[in-house]
Amino acid sequence: MTKHLPSLAAMALEVVALEAGMVPILHRGLEKIAGKIERTAKSEIGSYQPAVGPFDAWPELAESTEEDKAKQGYPAGAPLLRDGDLRDSYEHQTEGLVALIGSDDDVAVFHEFGTSKMPARPVLGPAAFRNKDVIQKLVGAALVAGIVGEDQVHAALGYDFKTRDD
């Protein structure tokens, strides 16, 4: 269906309306993406992670670390996991088209990037990379729904992201 626009001003109004309609849809998609990355990051704590994308596999904990954890009653062979505080500190916030995903625990930075005495055991980068396909699908769905309208997209096209919890 072709739409006749009588002037450039009318076309500009159509573009503005299109953009205004896309923002809430894109925000919902971004919220799902941020939530998925947060859940993945939390699930990585306590288990050795294999290499993914540009991120190396997590190295084994030092024997001295394992001994210290055992003395304190924490689980053995569970990297980054002691009492669960670090895992539980990962959160996300979205506002408009901005998502923040991370931890307010200062120790998370040391684990993410490593230190001179401790190898890196990144959590957020691998969590985002592991969700690359979901992220692409949700962004595509949000864009298509934003352009043509959510009720105009048939679920058979794979863009029915309103009811999915990817």
The string of pLDDT tens digits covering residues 110-147 is 999 999 999 999 999 999 999 998 888 888 777 777 66
Q: Residue 38 — pLDDT band, cuts 50, 70, 90?
A: very high
Given a cut of 70, is residue 165 above it in pLDDT? no
The string of pLDDT tens digits covering residues 56-101 is 999 999 999 999 999 999 999 999 999 999 999 999 999 988 999 9
pLDDT of residue 163: 40
pLDDT of residue 21: 66
Instruction: Give 124 or 9, the one with higher predicted confidence.
Output: 124
CA distance 107 to 93: 20
Residue 123 CB coordination number (10 Å):
27
pLDDT of residue 143: 74
Strand partners, 92: 101
Coil, strand or helix: which one is 4? coil
| Domain residue ranges in the chain | 30-130
pLDDT of residue 7: 77
Whether residue 74 contacts residue 81, with contact meaning beta carbons closer than 8 Å, is answered with yes
